[in-house]
Structure 1
Amino acid sequence: MKKIFTVLLLAVFMLAQFSMASAATVAGDAAITAIPDFSRAAGVDVDWAATGMAAGTKNILMWSREYPAAAYAMSECQLVATINGTSDASGTFTYDFTTTALALANGDQVEFTITVDTDDCAGAPTTPAADSVMGTSYVDINPVNGIKANPPSTSGVPSALDTASCNTFEYWSLVADDYFLPAGTVYSGFDKWVTHVTGTFAPPAPEGPTSNLLSWKFTFPATASGTWSASATAYDMAGNPINATFRAAVNVIPAELADCADFTDTAGHENEVYVRYLADLGLISGFADGSFGPDNTLTRAEAATLFEISNGYDETLLPTSAPAGCDFTDVAASDWFAGWVWQACDDGFMNGVGGGLFDPNNLLTRGQIVTIMNNVANTAPSGGFLNTGNIMNFYWGFGSPFPVREAAWTDVAVGAYYATPVIEAYGLGIADGTSETTFSPDMPVTRGEFAKMLYRALSIP
């Protein structure tokens, strides 16, 4: 059974509209002035005001009812304030659901009103009319849900106890408040990340902390030592928290103080961390001149090679002749890529383009690369990093599909061969769009983009 991240991420937000009546006063000139759209089941902060009251001491009472209850009940009354009627007053009152008889469930709507009485709730002479509602709030009792991810690893150690391969890496997490919620459920939506670090140095702040995808990149300094921890807490708009522990008091080891593999043209590149970390693992490599070419395009033969290296293959393990169904007329045994292409075909990762051709030197598009990932996710890799407990193996295809995040792409047609792979790759945080509305599936993928996708796909949940 596939895992669902419920240690940070695996929970659910709610996004509906709070309906607030005009701040019409009731007897005694008291009114609700503001109330959050969503509240936790424990309680909600309600702003109130009282003006123009008659002389004498008065009690401000707040009542709630679960919509569509017929009337307010004495058991839902709470004393907001006791004030002198000659004075104006206002404030914020935390209406405590735990002290009432309300049995709240996710998505319930709660209505509130205020009255002014000479007595407190115990002696209040009347309950407000059923139609006297002054403000409403939906109840969101579920936290966000989603994915947390550590650097790729084959160690088999639980992710929170695993160490990094070298000193520069990314922890990342993707959450959504509607992930795994039945259709039609109201939810408040993602609010913020709060990060926590315990160790001998302070890392930089995460990138995009206001986004539901947290990208947290680190470089251990040479002076790092001792135990070191990192975690992040995601909150929904109702204030429900969920925590993800990336690393739990693990000692910094010598390998984590060593620089990752480097190239002459990756410094400062947006995909530098992914390129250097995967190169340190031996999953990608550069050119003879010391460059990597992060903005260069990727050929079909190169992609076959990179996926099979991740699958645990080296040149000594490759077939020396074409397996059945993989005898392409444009792939000769003398070609450097022949064994890699044949193995990728035999594993079901990549097929030909028709007419007995593989088209090894043609450029790979963004739609094609996520389609290959879809093939990998739906086959049984023989080993290496593809055969580990990674994001692609744990989540790809769960539901049909059931992504953590969604986008309305204007350039991904329903029924296109890459439509589902695009939904999965973006929905799991593996691939990004080229804008908020475009994925650009027909654009050639760059080597740097592929490195990021592969790093994310192989990350350990």
Structure 2
Amino acid sequence: MKKLFTVLLLAVFMLAQFSMASAATVAGDASITAIPDFSRAVGVDVDWAATGMAAGTKNILIWSREYPAAAYAMSECQLVATINGTSDASGTFTYDFTATALAIANGDQIEFTITVDTDDCAGAPTTPATDSVMGTSYVDTGYVNGIKGNPPSTAAAAGALDTVSCNTFEYWALGADDFGLPAGTPYSGFDQWNLSTTGTFAPPAPIGATSDLLSWKFTFPPTATGPWTVYFTVSDKAGNVTPPAVPFRNAVPVIPAELAACDDFTDTAGHENEVYVRYLADLGLISGFADGSFGPDNTLTRAEAATLFEISNGYDETLLPTSAPAGCDFTDVSASDWFAGWVWQACDDGFMNGVGGGLFDPNNLLTRGQIVTIMGNVANASPLLYGGFINTVNIMTAYWGFGFPFPIREAAWTDVPVGAYYATPVIEAYGLGIADGTSDTTFSPDQPVTRGEFAKMLYRALSRQ
């Protein structure tokens, strides 16, 4: 799969200040007062200041080198300013990497030093004094890396040309500055998504310096007409900007179905998972109760989960087995149970297993750790089993199921033990943006999953590329 972004290598800031002595015996002190936290290979702005300059022409010179591999060289000496007469001065010098002899690459550390001389570089000493004022920075030429999720769809159209099922949906993406970098590699941090659309919206605030999850929810206004385009150009704090992402819709005209409200329930208005519940209901992947409610905060049973996954897999009651397939004959599931065919199909597909002792435990509550484990089973099942919405180029099957290098984002969970059966699925589901934690440090794997939480996870898992 083509990734949405390319990998980023970048920078943390380091600045060391030492006592200054000029390279030539002339009066005056010069210092580097600031260097950006990070820089691209195009160049870097170096702030400088000079004080106590004696009468006469004095030159402020700046030198650079790849640190610590290379020595200072005359070819890296550049004139910062020429000062006539007794003067204090300061300014910013843009050191142009493209015009230097340095071979700059991602992750390189560049050291700068500044001197006061009577001559310019042509007549200056061949190297600066060892105690000249120095500062260092790292270099970045790469981009943020990540994935994006278009609303779930089984349309034959490419994602860039697809339309939505109803007027309210989530277009989301996950990007990280440090994705794929070895431990200890410097990087600058995620900056912003730079969202663009012909509609109106309020972009969400970033959630962190190293990774960011974009959850872009908006509603087509009733007056929407003509072509719409939705995309972003994510940037990092070094100023690297990706080319525009492949749009969710590329000048696709609004159709009447996109102006119709999504399926509604009596108890979802204002709920944090309302968009996911209503959109999946509009697709026919989930349903509510006879009284018109959905119960977004209600818990989910194992039998219900088997049903919902197989509906997403393209099954209906007419396609289900009427007797238990080999290896799926559970003593607590009989043919007269409403869920029997769904449980047998989920077992036969390898999505869900029993709990031991010949039991499936259909009425027991499903936990958050169990639900992401089932998703991992779905993602890694044989592609020949796929149908319906699972048989699309989506986050779960196109990334999780094909060995995508996890994770794009990471968390230090205090409640996910090493070696727990759900440990890897938790890391993978969170790392792909499918599941969120219950706090910055907890995933709550043993907590029953709610119907609303499941709707969000399923929406994200089935999101198209």
SS in 2 for 1:134: strand
Paired with 1:181 and 1:420, the residues of 2 have a C-alpha distance of 20
Q: Distance in 1 between matches of 2:206 and 2:41?
A: 29
Greater Cα offset, 47-56 or 318-327:
47-56
Deviation track 1:329-365 (CA, whole Å, cap 9, x = no partner) reads 1111111111100100000000011111111110000
The answer to whether the Cα contact below 8 Å between 1:193 and 1:209 also exists between their aligned partners in 2 is no
Normalization by structure 1: what TM-score?
0.94
Q: Which amino acid aligns with 2:387?
A: G
- Range with greater deviation from structure 2 (98-107 or 397-406): 397-406
Which whole-Å CA distance do the structure 1 matches of 2:11 and 2:289 have between them?
Answer: 49
- Structural mapping, 1:335-374, within 5 Å: 335-374=337-376
CA displacement, residues 17-72 of structure 1 (integer Å, 9 cap, x when unaligned): x3211263342311101112321111111111111111233222211100114531
Structure 1 counterpart of 2:202: 204
Amino acid at match of 1:274: Y
Q: Secondary structure at the match of 2:233?
A: strand
Q: What is the match of residue 450 of structure 1?
A: 454
Using the TM superposition, give the Cα deviation of residue 208 of structure 1 relative to its aligned residue in structure 2, in angstroms: 4.2
1:245-276 CA deviation, whole Å, 9 max, x = no partner? 33322211111111111111111111111111
CA distance in 1, matches of 2:405, 2:145: 16
Matched, 1:14 2:10: yes
Comparing 162-171 with 343-352, greater Cα deviation is found at 162-171
2:277 aligns to what SS in structure 1? helix
Check 1:459–1:89 CA distance in 2 against 1; reply closer, same or farther (3 A cut).
same
Alignment of 1:239-388 (within 5 A): 239-242=239-242, 243-244=244-245, 245-380=247-382, 381-388=385-392
Structure 2 partner of 1:435: 439
Mapping 1:145-294, distance limit 5 Å: 145-197=145-197, 199=198, 201-206=199-204, 208=206, 212-242=212-242, 243-244=244-245, 245-294=247-296
The answer to whether the 8 A contact 1:71-1:129 is kept is no
Distance 1:229 1:349, change over 3 A: same
- 2:160/2:250 contact within 8 Å kept: yes
1:420 Cα deviation after fit: 0.3
Contact 2:11 2:107 in 1 (8 A): no
| Counterparts of 1:131 and 1:397, CA distance in 2 | 56
Report the CA distance between 1:181 and its aligned residue: 3.0
Deviates more, 1:33-42 or 1:165-174: 33-42
The answer as to 2:90 corresponding to 1:86 is no
2: CA distance between counterparts of 1:138 and 1:100? Answer: 16
Q: Distance in 2 between matches of 1:328 and 1:175?
A: 43
- C-alpha deviations, 1:395-433, integer Å up to 9, x for none? 115558621011111110110000000000000000000
Q: Counterparts of 1:97 and 1:401 in 2: how far apart (Å)?
A: 33
Residues 58 and 160 of structure 1: CA distance in aligned 2, closer, same or farther (over 3 Å): farther
Question: Match for residue 116 of structure 2?
Answer: 116
Q: By how many angstroms is 1:226 displaced?
A: 1.1
Instruction: For residue 184 of structure 1, report the CA deviation from its aligned partner.
Output: 4.7
Q: Is the alpha carbon distance of 1:70 and 1:458 closer, same or farther for their aligned partners in structure 2, counting shifts above 3 Å?
A: closer
Q: Is the 8 A contact 2:351 2:378 kept in 1?
A: yes
Contact map agreement 2:322 2:341 (CA 8 A) in 1: yes
The count of residues paired between Structure 1 and Structure 2 equals 454
How far apart are the structure 1 equivalents of 2:330 and 2:70? 74
Q: Say if 2:413 and 2:441, in contact at 8 Å, map to a contact too.
A: yes
> Aligned-pair distance for 1:125?
4.3
CA contact (8 A) 1:401 1:420 kept: no
Per-residue deviation, 1:131: 5.8
Aligned partner of 1:57 in structure 2 is 57
Corresponding residue for residue 400 of structure 2: 396
Q: TM-score, normalised by structure 2?
A: 0.93
Residues 208 and 292 (structure 1), Cα distance of their counterparts in 2 relative to 1, 3 Å cut: farther
CA distance in 2, matches of 1:301, 1:327: 15
1:291-342 per-position Cα deviation (integer Å, ceiling 9, x unaligned): 1111000000000000000000011111111111111111111111111001
Task: Return the offset for 1:239.
Answer: 1.8
1:312/1:305 Cα in 2 relative to 1: closer, same or farther (>3 Å)? same
* Alpha carbons of structure 1 residues 196 and 85: separation in structure 2 relative to 1, 3 Å: farther
Among candidates 403, 409, 413, match of residue 409 of structure 1: 413
Aligned partners of 2:409 and 2:432 also within 8 Å: yes
Query: Which residue does 2:428 correspond to in 1?
Result: 424
Deviation of 1:80 after TM superposition, in Å, equals: 2.0
CA distance, structure 2, for counterparts of residue 69 and residue 378 of structure 1: 46
Return the alpha-carbon distance in structure 2 between the equivalents of residues 74 and 94 of structure 1.
Answer: 18
Is the Cα–Cα contact under 8 Å of residues 23 and 33 in structure 1 kept in the other structure? no
RMSD, matched Cα: 1.9
Corresponding residue for 2:25?
none
- Alpha-carbon distance between aligned partners in 1 of 2:232 and 2:342, rounded to the nearest angstrom: 40
User: What is the distance in 2 between the residues matched to 1:187 and 1:62?
Assistant: 25
What's the offset of the Cα at 1:130? 5.3
Amino acid at match of 1:145: N
**8 Å contact kept, 1:142–1:240:** yes
**CA deviation digits over 1:374-402, x for unaligned, max 9?**
00000033311111000111211555862
Q: What is the alpha-carbon distance in structure 1 between the residues aligned to residue 412 and residue 351 of structure 2?
A: 27
